[in-house]
Amino acid sequence: MADREWSTVDVEDIAALTAVYGGNPARWPADRRAAAVRALAADGEAHELVVNEARLDALLSLVAEPEISATRVDSVVAGALARLDAMAVPAAKAAPRRLDTFLPSPFDVVRAALSWLSVRAPQAGWLAGATAAGIMVGVMTMPAATLPMSETVAQTAGTVETAQADVTDMPSLLFTSYTVETHAR
Amino acid sequence: MDESVQPEPRIGAASAADIAASRTRSGALSASIPGGSLPEPGDDALLARIAQGDRQAFALLAARHAPKAMKLAQRILGNAADADEVVQEALLRVWTGAKNWIPDGRARFSTWLHRVVVNLCVDRRRRPAFAGLEGIPEPPDPTPSAVNVMARQQTAKLVSQALAELPERQRLAVTLCYYEERSAADAAQILSLSVSAVESLLARARRALRARLSGVVQDTGEV
């Protein structure tokens, strides 16, 4: 109904217009009002359509308009302001903290950590797992080393060597068994 | 409807001052603008100040738009107390949402506010209704001279009933376009619909109203 030029309208247009907007030309969309009013003057059938819709408009206008007194408006606005005050109170209570209270106590740190973990337990689990795997891979890929033994053990004239498998790819590194060999000097 | 059951407004000193300032052009808000007697600031300017926590700007904007919003809410809800609560809630959303307002000239604040009010009203109507004093019909005036008035009131009641029985979106479209005198384009924005959808709702609503009020037509000869 909105996507056309309204230079001229016929009875069908008037019927469609009044079926939506009623019989009062003041309520009709501006883009088609002038042409519709011209058609009314020239066409008795169109005029009859408008009169019929105006009767329904008259019935609708019998419904009383709600009375909005200034007192009521003030009450609503004051209520909204009071609720703003109520919302601001918790923030105002939290604001005047002393400087020393900004320093977290150990208890606060532990509580914050627990709270962080409770929210991010899955992420923390992944992080811990990834860290452990990294350490394990690091240990396993460490070059062969001769570890000096403690004094008491050294008396037995031995060394402990890690035996490194001759593999370089990650799956092999993870699944190849390692042995710790003790060589007597 | 019955304002006698409304509690007396309790306005604190600060709130009363805010409202008083909002009622007069020579209030602190206008006085704080260079030039003093300039016209009242527009909605966009007030919203910018509200975003910075300016209560007087909030009171001025609220007092400016609350009456129409209350009228709209009362037409939809049919109840003054509920309408006031809805509008108060909508005003709070203005306070919290002001920082997100983009004054690009495309959207009008009143359209935004009415959309919030309509949505809150729709939510409230979906709650179980409480049969309060509002639902009790007023006793008829026994004086014989009131016969015509009573007949008119009776017809108005039938029309109200017919409106209330319309599907929700049709009723909202009629309320906005007929009673609030919004254009179909405005109503479409408020209801988040296209203009043609609003026109379709209006046409179906009028058809349904005509069918429901056919008895009134025959009795009164008005339609």
Distance from the Cα of A115 to chain B's closest Cα (Å) equals 29
Portion of chain A with pLDDT greater than 70, in percent: 51
Residue B107 confidence class, pLDDT cut points 50, 70, 90: confident
Residue B3 confidence class, pLDDT cut points 50, 70, 90: very low
- Cβ of A80 and B22 within 8 Å? no
Smallest CA–CA distance from A21 into chain B, residue: B202
Distance CA A133, CA A174 (A): 10
Query: Which pLDDT belongs to residue B7?
Result: 37
Closest CA to B6 of B69, B61, B104, B81: B81
- Cβ of A59 and B216 within 8 Å? yes
Core vs surface per residue A136-170: b (16+ CB within 10 A) or e: eeeeeeeeeeeeeeeeeeeeeeeeeebeeeeeeee
Residue B77 has pLDDT above 80, yes or no: yes
Task: For residue A180, give the 3-state DSSP assignment.
Answer: strand
- Cβ of B181 and A27 within 8 Å? yes
Closest CA to B193 of B77, B115, B76, B87: B115
Smallest CA–CA distance from A55 into chain B, residue: B223
Q: Is A66 on the interface with B (CB under 8 A)?
A: yes
Q: Is A42 on the interface with B (CB under 8 A)?
A: no
Nearest CB to B202; choose among A20, A64, A85:
A20
Q: Is A13 on the interface with B (CB under 8 A)?
A: no
Residue A145 has pLDDT above 70, yes or no: no
Exposure of B57 in the CB half-sphere (CA atoms within 13 A)? 19
Query: All domains of chain B, ordered by start, with CATH?
Result: 43-127+149-220 (1.20.140.160)
Query: Which pLDDT belongs to residue A143?
Result: 56
Mean pLDDT lowest among A128-137, B93-102, B174-183: A128-137
In the numeric block, the tokens 């384009």 are attached to B185
- Beta carbons of A72 and B79 less than 8 angstroms apart: no
Task: Name chain B contacts of A2, Cβ cutoff 8 Å.
Answer: 195-196, 199
Core vs surface per residue A22-47: b (16+ CB within 10 A) or e: bbebebbbeebbebbeebbeeeeebe
Nearest CB to B66; choose among A60, A63, A77:
A77
Residue A128 confidence class, pLDDT cut points 50, 70, 90: confident
Query: Which pLDDT belongs to residue A169?
Result: 59
